[in-house]
Amino acid sequence: MLLGCHLSIAGGVDRALEQAREYGFASLAMFVRNQRQWSARALEAKTVRAFRRKRRTLGIGPIVAHGSYLVNLAARGPIRQRSIAATAEELDRCRRLGIDYYVLHPGSCADRRVGIRRIAEALNQLVAASADPGPVILLETTSGAGHTIGGAFEDLAAILDLLTPPERFGVCLDTCHVFAAGYDLRTRCTYHQTMSRLHRVIGLDRLKAVHLNDCRSTLGSRLDRHAHIGRGKIGREGFACFVNDRRLAAVPGILETPKGFDKRARSWDLVNAAVLRSLIRKPPRGATRRIGDRCQSLPLPKHTSAASRKAAAAPAGLAVRRLLPYRRPHDPGHVHANRVCDVHQRGGAGVAPGPGGWDHRGPRPDAAAGG
């Protein structure tokens, strides 16, 4: 995961790049204008040149712009027209600045089906009106409060199905939002269940960015209350799953935790980043397993028994293979929850499934051993 943070553009949009380099981030998120006003000053050509030049100099990776909080593409009447105009302006700013992704809250509507149709129509209109290719537009998951759309993966999938061309659109998963919406991320077992459902409904190839926030509210509460990493209801184990998931290696992981300083006068952005970095596991020597046609290194938990550690030194494809989850023949994207939990409880080295699901090819270990 490419760790980054949402940084301020006070003093100029290029100031966010400087902060990212000071903090050691590989990516960043930012607003491209005042997010709480409909109108904004024009983006000057010299500002664009300075931003692009500084980005090249500093070597900052994927940049994620966040849309205005005022926008509601699911609305009707004047609010809808102003939302479309504001989004068009922000997309143009992203194109000029060379920003990679543009994250947008889908919107709010009392009638979910009508709201989904309005959002898709507006986004198709915006993309069709742009002559030059701009950023990839990412629909952000929401907590599902009130009439907001995006609290269920099915909402975003329904919108994506109506959008063209598909390569111009994707999804941004906010950990606080999905947890508040009812998707559990607290353990390795529940993390795999949630990500498997995301893959079945939307597809992991559409997941282009992740907002990393702990949650002060309880699971399924529908309350969007961000917390510092490891200090909320999700906890460190859930975030360890994100930063160690190889499928997300090239995905920007953006901190959106509360700003300010802790009791030791340290920036909370740096504190939260340090917590996430401390959760990255380095695979021990010799812990390799063949998954499909690739050999991957797998970390062994501290509580792994001596017998399991001895098995980890065995050639790939032997005893440890039985610790891996399997997929049902009739549903290639489905990971059996009990088997994932069984891996966790037995101290096995669980691995995230690839786009095609879990690999279960080859003979069973006991069969290979003659038993």
Given CA atoms 30, 34, 35, 39 in this order, what sign does their dihedral have?
negative
**Is 191 a known active-site residue?**
no
Instruction: Find tokens 């669980």 and name the residue.
Output: 350
- Rounded CA-CA distance 55/21 in Å is 10
Query: Which member of 90, 140, 214, 269 is catalytic?
Result: 140
**Is 360 a known active-site residue?**
no
**Is 69 a known active-site residue?**
yes
Query: Which member of 105, 118, 206, 344 is catalytic?
Result: 105
Query: Which member of 22, 49, 56, 69 is catalytic?
Result: 69
**Is 174 a known active-site residue?**
yes
Give the burial class of 263: count Cβ atoms within 10 A of its Cβ; 0-12 exposed, 13-18 middle, 19 or more buried: exposed
Query: Which member of 14, 89, 100, 224 is catalytic?
Result: 224
**Is 228 a known active-site residue?**
no
- Rounded CA-CA distance 19/7 in Å is 7
From the list 27, 2, 30, 26, the residue with the least C-alpha distance to 16 is 30
**Is 184 a known active-site residue?**
no
**Is 14 a known active-site residue?**
no
Q: Which helix (H) or strand (E) covers residue 123, if one does?
A: helix 112-129
Query: Which member of 90, 174, 245, 359 is catalytic?
Result: 174
Query: Which member of 211, 289, 327, 344 is catalytic?
Result: 211
**Is 66 a known active-site residue?**
yes
Instruction: Find tokens 């909080």 and name the residue.
Output: 69
Q: Which helix (H) or strand (E) covers residue 88, if one does?
A: helix 78-97
Cβ-proximal residues to 45 (8 Å cutoff; 6+ apart), any chain: none
Query: Which member of 6, 33, 55, 66 is catalytic?
Result: 66
Label the pairing between strands 226-227 and 252-255. unpaired
Query: Which member of 33, 177, 199, 228 is catalytic?
Result: 177
φ, ψ of residue 267 to 5 degrees: the values are: -60, 135
**Is 342 a known active-site residue?**
no
**Is 334 a known active-site residue?**
no
Tell me which residues are annotated as active site. Answer: 36, 66, 69, 105, 140, 174, 177, 211, 224, 226, 256
